[in-house]
Chain A
Amino acid sequence: MILSNRVWRLGDNIDTDQILPGSYINLPDKALRASHCFENIYPGFSSLVKPGELIAAGLNFGCGSSRPSVEILQDLGLGGVIAQSFARIFFRGGIARGFPLMVCPSLQAGDLPTGHHITVNLEEGTLVDQDSGALFSIEPYPKFFQEIMETRGLLNYTRTHMDREVR
């Protein structure tokens, strides 16, 4: 699986209240709800981001509440998130929804600035910043994570396996 697109750079400890402030979680209109994504830290983000673009962040991305946050990023059309580390419930949510979350332990604050074009190869575990030429390693997924991504999420993966067991 290869992801290649423009990157948006965020910092450490981006929590779920920043991904979507709590007061909007019950908005029934998904597009309207997603339009509030990052509004307290990056005003106008939702109107500037284009489908397939990627987020790069520092430590502990997605910390905070366990409420559905991955889908807000999916509703905006984002292609995935690269971070130095992820909060674990958010990470589980990403695997569950087949949304690529890539751990890049060596990422430093000045790396992958907003606007740079990057290419990630999930099988090889490599990340290239095409504007700076910098090369990074990302943690390779265990085999069943790759299967989950291929079946587009844990629910499909579980359905496939339950079907097999029934047979």
Chain B
Amino acid sequence: MTLVEKILAKNAGLPEVKPGQYVEALVDLVILSDVAIRSVKAFYEIGAKKVYAPNRIAIVFDHNVPARDTKTAEDIRLLKEFAETQGIRHLFDLPRGGIQHLVPAENGLIYPGMIVIDGSHTCTDGALGVLATGVSAEDRAVAMATGKLWFRVPETMRVVLRGQPRAFLTGMDIGLALLGKIKTNGAVYMAIEFTGETLDYLGMDTRFTLCNLTMEAGAKTGIVEVDEKTLDFYRAQGLPVPENYAQGDPDSYVKETIEIDVAALPLQVAQPSSPDNVSALEKILGIPVTHGFIGYCVNGRLSDLALAARVLKRKQVNPKVNLIITPGSQRVLKEAVRKGYITTFLEAGAVIAPPTCGACAGIHMGVLGPGDTAISTTNRNFPGRMGHPKSSVYLANPAVVAASAVRGVISSPEEVLS
């Protein structure tokens, strides 16, 4: 069995599961954001009174915070009351939180072998060897009430990453290259398992970025087997190191295997208006941009900010460009302050936004207007995703966005640093 199949079998109490099978499995962690008020309403609609296990629920406020209007302020208050009533202690308001795809892992709530559910980009946590998958608001209500949920056992696509990446190439480029190859419907309802020696050259943050982007291919989850780098992640956060974690069998059946020659891969950019409309950066240099966005759940970890700071050090953002940098969490932001990256950004003329989903989801903290053209480290550029339907969004890694913000046109990091 693959790792995903083993996790589903374990939590369903079955000796074996097969792709296509429907199972009822225990859910180890339900994550709610501030837009998940519907899950709370649905929970009471079921007729449930107490949640199945308060310590298996985490609430992270990340979409409409700081409250952008009175309605969202009310939702946040209702969720706080729900947590209070139900004895849910894992509640992360903005000051000690950030984006839901970083905060629970940073706080030791996610361990290898778990089933974790929340909104769409939960698959990010697959980087830690967990089955992390997005479900509907009603599903989350059912899991909170009963501790269980139905799952379809996914087919697996194995993505083998070969070779040493070139300078400035990150998980974002590899993920975009994969999307360009398999397209936004290339892995519908499948698990994408990443393996190969490239993972040894790149840090843990790369795995979060790669797993995050699997959602754009329609996958149920991205996943990476646990290795020494995974264990280092826990050590670095000062958390207990995982023991006795599940691993996939080497001879397990996979439906499809794809190899990517990362050593030969140039930097990648997704053009409007789909994350699979991918081109080599060198082919689209020179397109004028009005906005740059760096960070969020895709590329808002410390190594991503370090890369952007390397490009922006002693440089000035073009006066025609609004560069907004959004660290993924308060913890990342604090660490970026300590490392001096935030000073670099401010001196370059960038704006630092609090760790929220706001701009990426076109909600607040940098909504695009008609005619605006952004280059962004986020994961979606469908029409209207980041604002007006007549705005355009290019997706790229943090170094490419930083370089483009300096020059005011889509540029390579080498052009800026030479």
Residues of A within 8 A of B (CB): 12-13, 15, 17-18, 21-23, 26, 28, 40, 59-60, 63-68, 70, 85-89, 92-93, 96-97, 142, 144, 153-155, 158-159, 162-163
Chain B positions 375 through 397: 1 when the CB is less than 8 Å from some CB of chain A, otherwise 0: 00000101111010100000000
Q: For A142, what are the chain B residues with a Cβ–Cβ distance below 8 Å?
A: 22
Q: Is the CB of A155 within 8 A of B142?
A: yes
B361 within 8 A of A: yes
Q: Is the CB of A158 within 8 A of B220?
A: no
Q: For B120, what are the chain A residues with a Cβ–Cβ distance below 8 Å?
A: 64-66, 89
Q: For B274, what are the chain A residues with a Cβ–Cβ distance below 8 Å?
A: 13
Q: For B142, what are the chain A residues with a Cβ–Cβ distance below 8 Å?
A: 96, 154-155, 158
CB within 8 A of A18: which of B38, B71, B134, B383? B383
Q: Is the CB of B382 within 8 A of A88?
A: no
**Interface residues of B, dominant DSSP:** loop
Q: How far is the CA of A163 from the CA of B389 in the complex (A)?
A: 47
Given A21-B389, A26-B71, A66-B120, answer yes or no on A154-B139 (Cβ-Cβ < 8 Å): yes
Given A17-B385, A22-B384, A162-B47, answer yes or no on A144-B138 (Cβ-Cβ < 8 Å): no
Given A13-B184, A17-B384, A26-B71, answer yes or no on A92-B139 (Cβ-Cβ < 8 Å): yes
What distance in Å separates the Cβ of B24 from its nearest Cβ neighbour in chain A?
9
Closest 9 CB pairs of A and B: A96-B138, A93-B136, A60-B185, A66-B120, A22-B362, A66-B119, A21-B384, A59-B185, A92-B136
Q: How far is the CA of A154 from the CA of B136 in the complex (A)?
A: 11
Chain B residue, CB-CB nearest to A26? B71
B189 within 8 A of A: yes
Q: Is the CB of A68 within 8 A of B188?
A: no
Q: How far is the CA of A142 from the CA of B135 in the complex (A)?
A: 19
Q: How far is the CA of A116 from the CA of B47 in the complex (A)?
A: 42
Q: Is the CB of A63 within 8 A of B141?
A: no
Q: Is the CB of B46 within 8 A of A158?
A: yes
Specify which of A18, A21, A68, A93 lies most central, judged by the most chain B CB atoms within 10 Å of its CB.
Answer: A21
Q: How far is the CA of A37 from the CA of B330 in the complex (A)?
A: 36
Q: Is the CB of A28 within 8 A of B361?
A: no
B11 within 8 A of A: no
Q: A23-B362, A70-B136 are in contact. List 14 more A-B contacts (CB 8 A).
A: A13-B274, A22-B385, A26-B71, A28-B71, A40-B389, A60-B185, A60-B188, A60-B218, A63-B218, A68-B137, A88-B218, A92-B135, A92-B136, A158-B142
Q: Is the CB of B139 within 8 A of A158?
A: no
B3 within 8 A of A: no
Given A89-B134, A155-B141, A158-B46, answer yes or no on A13-B185 (Cβ-Cβ < 8 Å): yes
Q: Is the CB of B382 within 8 A of A17?
A: yes
Q: How far is the CA of A14 from the CA of B35 in the complex (A)?
A: 22
Q: For A154, what are the chain B residues with a Cβ–Cβ distance below 8 Å?
A: 138-139, 142
Chain B positions 351 through 388: 1 when the CB is less than 8 Å from some CB of chain A, otherwise 0: 00000000001110001000000000000101111010
Given A13-B184, A67-B35, A158-B146, answer yes or no on A23-B139 (Cβ-Cβ < 8 Å): no
Q: For B361, what are the chain A residues with a Cβ–Cβ distance below 8 Å?
A: 22, 65
Given A60-B218, A63-B218, A88-B189, answer yes or no on A155-B138 (Cβ-Cβ < 8 Å): yes
B48 within 8 A of A: yes
Q: How far is the CA of A153 from the CA of B46 in the complex (A)?
A: 11
Chain B positions 112 through 147: 1 when the CB is less than 8 Å from some CB of chain A, otherwise 0: 000000011000000000000011111101100110
Chain B positions 87 through 103: 1 when the CB is less than 8 Å from some CB of chain A, otherwise 0: 00000000000000000
Chain A residue, CB-CB nearest to B118? A66
What distance in Å separates the Cβ of A20 from its nearest Cβ neighbour in chain B?
10
Q: How far is the CA of A65 from the CA of B385 in the complex (A)?
A: 10
B72 within 8 A of A: yes
What distance in Å separates the Cβ of B142 from its nearest Cβ neighbour in chain A?
5
Q: How far is the CA of A17 from the CA of B380 in the complex (A)?
A: 10
B45 within 8 A of A: yes
B245 within 8 A of A: no
Q: Is the CB of B45 within 8 A of A155?
A: yes
Q: How far is the CA of A21 from the CA of B367 in the complex (A)?
A: 13
Q: How far is the CA of A23 from the CA of B368 in the complex (A)?
A: 11
What distance in Å separates the Cβ of B181 from its nearest Cβ neighbour in chain A?
16
Q: Is the CB of B139 within 8 A of A64?
A: no
Q: Is the CB of B48 within 8 A of A162?
A: yes
Q: How far is the CA of A144 from the CA of B383 in the complex (A)?
A: 37
What distance in Å separates the Cβ of A41 from its nearest Cβ neighbour in chain B?
8
Q: For B42, what are the chain A residues with a Cβ–Cβ distance below 8 Å?
A: 155
Q: How far is the CA of A92 from the CA of B201 in the complex (A)?
A: 37
In the assembled complex, 18 residue pairs joining A and B whose CB atoms fall closer than 8 Å, in A order, are A17-B380, A18-B382, A21-B384, A23-B384, A85-B188, A86-B188, A88-B152, A88-B188, A89-B134, A93-B137, A96-B139, A153-B138, A154-B139, A155-B42, A155-B46, A155-B141, A159-B47, A162-B47
Q: For B136, what are the chain A residues with a Cβ–Cβ distance below 8 Å?
A: 66, 68, 70, 89, 92-93, 96-97
What distance in Å separates the Cβ of A70 from its nearest Cβ neighbour in chain B?
8
Q: How far is the CA of A65 from the CA of B215 in the complex (A)?
A: 9
Q: Is the CB of B146 within 8 A of A12?
A: no
Q: How far is the CA of A64 from the CA of B45 in the complex (A)?
A: 26
Q: For A66, what are the chain B residues with a Cβ–Cβ distance below 8 Å?
A: 119-120, 134-136
B253 within 8 A of A: no
B82 within 8 A of A: no
CB within 8 A of B185: which of A18, A63, A155? A63
CB within 8 A of B384: which of A28, A40, A63, A68? A40
